[in-house]
Structure 1
Amino acid sequence: MSKQQARARLTYQRALQEAGTEFARHGYADASLLRIAQRMNLTKGALYGHFDSKAEIAAALVALLDELLPHPGDPTTHPHPDPMADLQELALTVARAVESDIQINAALRLTVDAALDSDRTPPFLEELHRRALQLLEAAGQTEPAALADLLIVVLVGAYYTAPTLQRSGMSTRVQAIWDALAPRSPSTG
């Protein structure tokens, strides 16, 4: 890789980082490419050298959500003998990623905002629901579809009610909700 290619890649990554902050803070409609470029000490035109549009930047961020969910057959994925523990870990993985990565934070906001403006469920939320449903069915839960819906509601609710832009404490809140809904018995503690 040449120095020019390396510099372009670094600028691309920086643009996604700054775009993450912008979209997490303002959502898609109110996000400004000019503000992103200014934070990077670039012109808006220089930013367009890396992305053709605001929609392309948003799509690049949303694509990062696909990396959150383990892919079936992935050798690093070891199913827990307890599907409910797997479901809990799935929810906490999403919450922790939102807290620790502004790009994932923005991607979730963009995804949820898109769901509000469309008749179609965004692919990430569909896939999250599908995986939750599989785990709930494997656990023998009654009303697995309703419980999978509840998982999505918990994650989205914890996201939107977290007190800071970084969504600090989201995973703690998701864990507390999980514990309240599925308390452990003293013998399994």
Structure 2
Amino acid sequence: MKQARARLTHAVILNAAGEIFAERGFTDTDLQSVADRIGLTKGALYGHFPSKAALAAAVIEDFERSWAEVTTAARHSSRPALQTLTRLLLELSRRTAEDIRFLSGLRLKMAAARARGAEEPHLAELYDLLTSLVLLSQEQGDIHAGRRPELLVPLLISLILGTWELGLVTGEEHAADLVPSLWETILPALQLSSD
């Protein structure tokens, strides 16, 4: 019973930290804000996480596990490339919009890479994976061969990463629900000949 309560508290802390890291970033987040958000004392929070860095590392670890699950499924899919591409796009958009730890972990990783002046490896992996799926979709005749992957892939990444911000702009609680409609709007233009 005590262990179950500790696991629940741990999850609640990670969700609150995810919310605050997503809102403020690492630098402007402090442990007191996380404790206040969930009604814990700072001392009780320290019982779970000894520092802000440890808390951020736990959020990032959760994100990385979730990311690997989605991208591995896409890489090993036996479906046609366009179906795999669509599933990947929709699933990453959904997680970005609805899973605050996923969004927060990705944002923390992106901010850390930007601070180092380096490329964020998850986004580089996503760019390569999307590019390979677009090229394979073209080979399979599901996306017109004249569509340039170097233009299409950034658009797809913008759909994925912009889902959370889209919810802020539109006031939609479930902004990820818009992504299938947006994709259905874009896809016919990708399949048509540009002649």
TM-score interval for Structure 1 and Structure 2 normalised by the shorter chain: 0.7 to 0.9
Q: What residue ranges of structure 1 are gaps of 5+ in the alignment?
A: none
Amino acid at match of 1:71: T
Distance 2:163 2:36 in 1: 31
Distance 1:136 1:48 in 2: 46
Aligned pairs, number: 180
Normalising to structure 1: TM-score of the pair? 0.76
Q: 1:179 to 1:135 in 2, by over 3 A?
A: same
Whether the 8 Å CA contact 1:33–1:54 is kept in 2: the answer is yes
1:46-75 CA distance string (max 9 Å, x none): 21222232222222222233324242599x
Distance 2:108 2:172 in 1: 15
2:185 to 176, 180, 185: 180
Task: Give RMSD over aligned pairs.
Answer: 3.0
Cross-structure match for 2:142: none
Cross-structure match for 1:168: 173
Matches within 5 A, 1:106-117: 106-117=104-115
Q: 1:168 to 1:124 in 2, by over 3 A?
A: farther
Instruction: Report the 3-state secondary structure (helix = DSSP H, G, I; strand = E; otherwise coil) of the residue aligned with 1:49.
Output: helix
Matches within 5 A, 1:112-151: 112-140=110-138, 141=145, 143-151=148-156
Q: What residue ranges of structure 2 are gaps of 5+ in the alignment?
A: 139-144
| Structure 1 residue 64 corresponds to structure 2 residue 62 | yes
Distance 1:138 1:56 in 2: 41
| Structure 1 residue 79 corresponds to structure 2 residue 78 | yes
1:68-122 CA distance string (max 9 Å, x none): 4242599xx64322x1221121111011123332222322333343444342222
Distance 2:116 2:96 in 1: 23
Cross-structure match for 1:155: 160
The structure that is helix-richer by fraction is 2
Distance 1:173 1:114 in 2: 29
Whether the 8 Å CA contact 2:89–2:156 is kept in 1: the answer is yes
Q: Which of structure 1's runs of 4+ aligned residues deviate more than 6 A?
A: none
Q: 1:30 to 1:150 in 2, by over 3 A?
A: same
Cross-structure match for 1:40: 38
Distance 2:121 2:3 in 1: 32
Whether the 8 Å CA contact 1:65–1:124 is kept in 2: the answer is no
Q: After superposing the two structures, state which structure 1 stretch, 155-164 or 92-101, moved more.
A: 155-164
Cross-structure match for 1:24: 22
Q: CA deviation at 1:135?
A: 0.9
Normalising to structure 2: TM-score of the pair? 0.74
- Percent pairwise identity: 33
